[in-house]
Amino acid sequence: MPEPGGSLDHIFTPIEIGGLRLPHRIVMGSMHLGLEGLPDAGPRLAAFYRERALGGAGLIVTGGWAVSADGAADGSYGVLGSGGGRHLTRPEGQTTTAALETIAKATEGTEARIALQLFHAGRYALADSPGEVVAPSAIASRVSRTEPRALGEDEVWDVVAEFAAAARLARELGFAAVEIMGSEGYLVDQFLSPVTNKRDDSWGGDAEGRMRFGVELASAVREAAGDEVAVLFRMTGAELMPEARDWAEVEAFARGLVAAGVDALNIGVGWHESPVPTVQGVVPSGAFVPWAEALDASVPVIAGNRINRLRDAEEILAAGGIDLVSMSRPFLADPRIVEKGRSGGAVNVCISCDQACIDRSLVGGHVSCLVNPRSGYEVDFPAQDAEGRFAVIGGGPAGMEAARVLATLGGDVHLFEAREELGGQFRWARMVPGKEDYGATISYFESELRRLGVHLHLGHEVGEDDAEVIAGCAGVVLATGVHPRAVDIPGSSLPHVVDYATAFESGLGSAKSVAIVGGGGIGVDLAHLLAHESSDADDFYGRYDVELPSAVPFPSHSRKRHHATGSTAGASPQVTVMRRSGRVGSGIGITTRWVWLDALKHAGVETRTGLSYRRITPAGVEIVLEDGSVETIAAERVVIAAGQERRDELRPLLERTGVPFRVVGGAENPSELNAVRAFGDGLRAAYELAGL
């Protein structure tokens, strides 16, 4: 049975890129995993890619491998040349060649084929990167804040030669294709754009000069790769930067790449420093497909960015204009997403949170996935047996993952949840504009746990009466989560004051003004829910002043999304978010915090910091500012969102039974609680108990 939502015939139509035949139209896009620079990069990356190949992936593009030490963004990148080249030895690990040979063989025996992405960070390299920070011009970026050295005219040819040498190595090692990373603001983009290329020599000066580097590079890679290796070029359709290239230059560059022998164009959008979100949850699905649709190319065109469901990809392909769809993070969330599209089965949907993936990749961290914490850690969590009966108490993120893993390993699992529905605080997150996909996570676990035979005891709060049941278990996971922390503010017991849990569960009625005490992630989420702005594609383009390519006036496949707004129907209230000190939303990830705060500002939400709370009155919240002055924040309703406290009341009961147990998520440590840690705790606890 295919994925719910209809036929996927367009997806499962074979296609050729150059001489490379692919079984379907989904490309597993490049993701830097932070593993490439490790001593054991070969086996770790091979395990990651092979699991996805076995799950139905077609063309897999590796994370970027720097063509030289100067090209590496930081020490987490693999380096192909200039400082060791093919025989670069990793401390206590494989040579670069051996690691890549292992990766190239990861898809053997499957339909999948693997492409090596060739990468150069240019001015995006950090100051402590393995080589020198170089670029077309000496202009620092907001990403690295390091002024690069401008490449000399002859040195540019050296970089072209490094890309060619990397392509030649890829061919020798057995990769089916290479992809030149020429998007997201990296070196190729830096040559192309008038924002970063101020040269007056043959590598700049005008549009033709700025394009020369990318075209020469493509030609050199084409020659080095040989006829048997397909060459893809990931190019930017829209920089989304002030004073960026116009669409005519984008089209001209695409034509130049095709003339240089490129077999497919993979169209990206935005730079890492662009003031427009491109991959976050607030971006409507498929919002950036028009830039791929608008290209009239004689080679296959690949579209991507914020496409996280196969049914969306099918709709995009059916509309015509593009040939393949690139999905990256969805393969982190569910390695078997393509296989499930063929045969049916619940998909663990990417929720576009960025927290364990992009946020980590930008700082050289080990990339994983919030909703699939095993992603990137495949060798650390191999198949093993879990014998006996296990109890999981609590059905939030940590508990759901612990139950799923224990059942996958063969355990007889009983999951107890006091509420009538699984999900924990994800039930509230799914209500927030831009986080609707959090509800898909709950749906996935509901389906998957039942498929695995987990016994679900919903509406069952475990207590002393369950002691005998607990005592007969081989292990127990306590995942009872947190409850809102009470505050010591005079007036906090007034009837118009509620905690955040009540606000999410029951809404705030028709209040015209709301004050939120606490400016962490929960306070920001609640403010978004109360402001409830629309987020269809048309609104998105207007909000960020994004100009569509003239060839495609509007993306017909983009669908309007309707947000749940609880009982806050009608006009949005005036919302004020307060925090004693520090930045509002300081715990939110680096790639999403600015988006959420910008959206709050656009919706008219006021944020206040540098204050103390004097008292709460029927009129609102009295605050004392740093200069000693007193101000009243008018509010018909006041919401307390000032942290959480653990719910671990069952710990003494578990200790008395003598059964091995693990306490996870907020029940273990409510400090800086986030879903990444909760899901990860559930995974680790399951493996620990299974190994006892």
pLDDT of 95 reads 81
In a domain, 200, yes or no: yes
Residue-number span of the structural domain to which 413 is assigned: 387-484+645-690
In a domain, 25, yes or no: yes
Q: Which of 456, 476, 410 is nearest to 689 (CA)?
A: 476
In a domain, 568, yes or no: no
- Are residues 214 and 102 part of one domain? yes
- Are residues 392 and 290 part of one domain? no
- Are residues 400 and 280 part of one domain? no
Predicted confidence (pLDDT) at residue 72 exceeds the cutoff of 80: yes
In percent, the amount of the chain with pLDDT more than 70 equals 94
Q: Quick: pLDDT tens for 268-303.
A: 999 999 999 999 999 999 999 999 999 999 999 999
Predicted confidence (pLDDT) at residue 3 exceeds the cutoff of 60: no
What is the rounded average pLDDT of the residues 390-414?
98
**CATH code of the domain containing 226:** 3.20.20.70
pLDDT of 82 reads 53
pLDDT of 96 reads 87
Residue 670 in tokens: 């409510």
pLDDT of 565 reads 38
pLDDT of 528 reads 95
In a domain, 584, yes or no: no
Contact 177, 232 (CB under 8 A): yes
Handedness of CA 382, 387, 392, 396 (dihedral sign): positive
Q: Which of 159, 108, 113 is nearest to 18 (CA)?
A: 113
pLDDT of 627 reads 95
Q: For residue 675, count CB atoms less than 10 angstroms from its CB and return exposed for 0-12, middle for 13-18, buried for 19 or more.
A: buried
- Are residues 76 and 147 part of one domain? yes
Residue 355 in tokens: 């927290």
In a domain, 538, yes or no: no
Q: Quick: pLDDT tens for 365-398.
A: 999 999 999 999 999 999 999 999 999 999 999 9
pLDDT of 92 reads 54
Mean of the per-residue pLDDT values of the chain: 93
DSSP code for 89: B
Handedness of CA 537, 542, 546, 551 (dihedral sign): positive
**CATH code of the domain containing 417:** 3.40.50.720
pLDDT of 637 reads 98
Predicted confidence (pLDDT) at residue 602 exceeds the cutoff of 60: yes
- Are residues 141 and 64 part of one domain? yes
d(CA 288, CA 286): 5
Going by pLDDT thresholds of 50, 70 and 90, the confidence category of residue 536 is: confident
Contact 497, 670 (CB under 8 A): no
Predicted confidence (pLDDT) at residue 5 exceeds the cutoff of 70: no
pLDDT of 571 reads 78
Predicted confidence (pLDDT) at residue 318 exceeds the cutoff of 70: yes
- Domain count within the chain: 2
Does residue 613 carry a catalytic annotation? no
In a domain, 686, yes or no: yes
What is the rounded average pLDDT of the residues 304-308?
94
Predicted confidence (pLDDT) at residue 426 exceeds the cutoff of 80: yes
pLDDT of 85 reads 38
Final residue belonging to a domain, choices 304, 325, 350? 350
| Catalytic member of 186, 444, 541, 687 | 186
Going by pLDDT thresholds of 50, 70 and 90, the confidence category of residue 552 is: low
In a domain, 625, yes or no: no
Contact 519, 577 (CB under 8 A): yes
Going by pLDDT thresholds of 50, 70 and 90, the confidence category of residue 91 is: very low
- Are residues 426 and 277 part of one domain? no
pTM: 0.94
- Are residues 133 and 23 part of one domain? yes
Q: Which amino acid is at 689?
A: L
Predicted confidence (pLDDT) at residue 12 exceeds the cutoff of 70: yes
- Are residues 113 and 205 part of one domain? yes
d(CA 386, CA 406): 7
Q: Quick: pLDDT tens for 448-505.
A: 999 999 999 999 999 999 999 999 999 999 999 999 999 999 999 999 999 999 999 9
- Are residues 303 and 426 part of one domain? no
Predicted confidence (pLDDT) at residue 2 exceeds the cutoff of 90: no
- Are residues 323 and 439 part of one domain? no
CA 541 to chain centre: 21
Final residue belonging to a domain, choices 299, 332, 350? 350
The SS3 assignment for 682 reads helix
Contact 389, 411 (CB under 8 A): yes
- Are residues 252 and 177 part of one domain? yes
- Are residues 346 and 395 part of one domain? no
In a domain, 601, yes or no: no
Bridge-based pairing of strands 455-458 and 412-417 is parallel
Final residue belonging to a domain, choices 299, 324, 350? 350
